[in-house]
Amino acid sequence: DAKTTQPNSMESNEEEPVHLPCNHSTISGTDYIHWYRQLPSQGPEYVIHGLTSNVNNRMASLAIAEDRKSSTLILHRATLRDAAVYYCILRVADRGSTLGRLYFGRGTQLTVWP
């Protein structure tokens, strides 16, 4: 599986933007970039995903580098409810034995201060 590298932890103040980086230098052309987050004592929650172009949804924005070797999840205004572990994941599309799986890694623990 193509792997991702994320900082162990980041901090932000409430109502400030947060940029969560992810490196995936071994990404291949058909790998989608997915972000999930996990709040304490809950299952992971889908945030956003993209392939090549930047993406926006109601939760966040995903900025993908032109060479696709890195991406950044952007929370435009952090709230206390955004405090969670954020996972950057490469999802293999239609390929062999890795079909369907998500490789989570350890993610980035985001702390939001009031």
Partner 1 sequence: DTGVSQDPRHKITKRGQNVTFRCDPISEHNRLYWYRQTLGQGPEFLTYFQNEAQLEKSRLLSDRFSAERPKGSFSTLEIQRTEQGDSAMYLCASSRNGRVGSYEQYFGPGTRLTVT
State the residues that interact with partner 1 by CB under 8 A: 30-32, 34, 42-46, 49, 51, 85, 87, 91-94, 97-107
* Type of residue numbered 81: R
Least distance from partner 1 to the Cβ atom of residue 107, Å? 6
Is the Cβ of residue 16 or residue 45 nearer to partner 1 in the bound state? 45
Is the Cβ of residue 65 or residue 99 nearer to partner 1 in the bound state? 99
Least distance from partner 1 to the Cβ atom of residue 89, Å? 9
Q: Do 45 and 39 meet the contact criterion of CB atoms below 8 Å apart?
A: yes
Burial code (b: 16+ CB inside 10 Å, e: under 16) for 86-114 equals bbbbbbbeeeeebeeeeeebebbbbebee
